[in-house]
Amino acid sequence: MLCRACDLAVSRRALPSGVRAICPRCKTPLYDTPYCAIDGVLAMCIAALILYIPAMLLPVLEMHFIGSVRTTTVWQGALAVADQGYWVVGLAVLIGAVVGPGLLITSIFAQMLIIKTHYYRRPSGRRILVVLLRYHKLLSQLSMLEIYVISFLVTSFQLSDFADVYFGMGTFCFTMLFLIVLFMLREYKLEHMWGYLNEFE
Ligand SMILES: [Zn+2]
């Protein structure tokens, strides 16, 4: 990058927490730490991975309707929508609520491991990290947990008129998963991750 004040070419690198880069020639502040707490993100990743399985497999909705009890998981919901002919919607639910978040969490988890183990200093680790970082934007756009959380809240309000609706353990796990991913993405800084790759250039 170039210094705003004197046009000196400065190579960007990852900074430790709370540090500001200044131009070596004219002392103009260049950029602040886009800091990413690796340990914090790693911890949230592990929590998200643990919650992911029950969030997908346990019932998110439980309906009691004239003596019969029906439960639905995220998977079944998506398949049911597809079965009714709305296969685009079903596919969107599968990608946005199941596949997207799963890939995103796994990708961030792999990135944190590569940083923690210093594997990115080897050519093979570097290549993997480049691919993961390149696809990060796409994966974060694909995961739409928030839309799914809102939609099952809306659905349950509508259904509550003619059936008793209960939230299952899956709802709890799914909502927790949503919150953890939200905080994880707040803490995660793509720019900081690219910084690790520039460290040796
Ligand atoms: Zn300067």
Give me the long-range contacts of 156-163 (CB less than 8 A, separation at least 24). 156/61, 159/61, 159/63, 162/65, 163/63, 163/64, 163/65
Cα–Cα distance between 174 and 60 in angstroms, integer? 8
CA of 198 to the centre of ligand 1 (A): 20
CA of 173 to the centre of ligand 1 (A): 51
The residue ranges of DSSP E strands in the chain, in sequence order, are: 20-22, 29-32, 61-65, 68-72, 164-167
Digit-coded pLDDT (tens) for 99-117: 899 999 999 999 999 999 9
Cα–Cα distance between 52 and 145 in angstroms, integer? 11
Cβ neighbors of 104 (< 8 A, separation 6 or more) are 139, 140, 142, 143, 181
Neighbouring C-beta atoms of residue 112, cutoff 10 Å:
22
The residue with tokens 């008129």 is 161
Report yes or no: 56 and 49 within 8 Å, Cβ to Cβ.
Answer: no
Report yes or no: 62 and 165 within 8 Å, Cβ to Cβ.
Answer: yes
CA of 29 to the centre of ligand 1 (A): 8
Report yes or no: 96 and 148 within 8 Å, Cβ to Cβ.
Answer: yes
Residue 8, judged by CB atoms within 10 A of its CB (0-12, 13-18, 19+), counts as: middle
- What is the token pair recorded at 82? 């597809």
CA of 192 to the centre of ligand 1 (A): 22
CA of 21 to the centre of ligand 1 (A): 11
CA of 56 to the centre of ligand 1 (A): 52
The residue with tokens 């029950």 is 54
Residue 16, CA distances (Å) to 19, 100, 146, 190 in order: 6, 31, 32, 15
CA of 30 to the centre of ligand 1 (A): 8
CA of 103 to the centre of ligand 1 (A): 41
- What parts of the chain have a pLDDT lower than 50? none
Residue type, 68: S
- φ, ψ of residue 91 in degrees (nearest 5): -65, -40
Record the pTM.
0.76
CA of 20 to the centre of ligand 1 (A): 14
Amino acid 35: pLDDT: 67
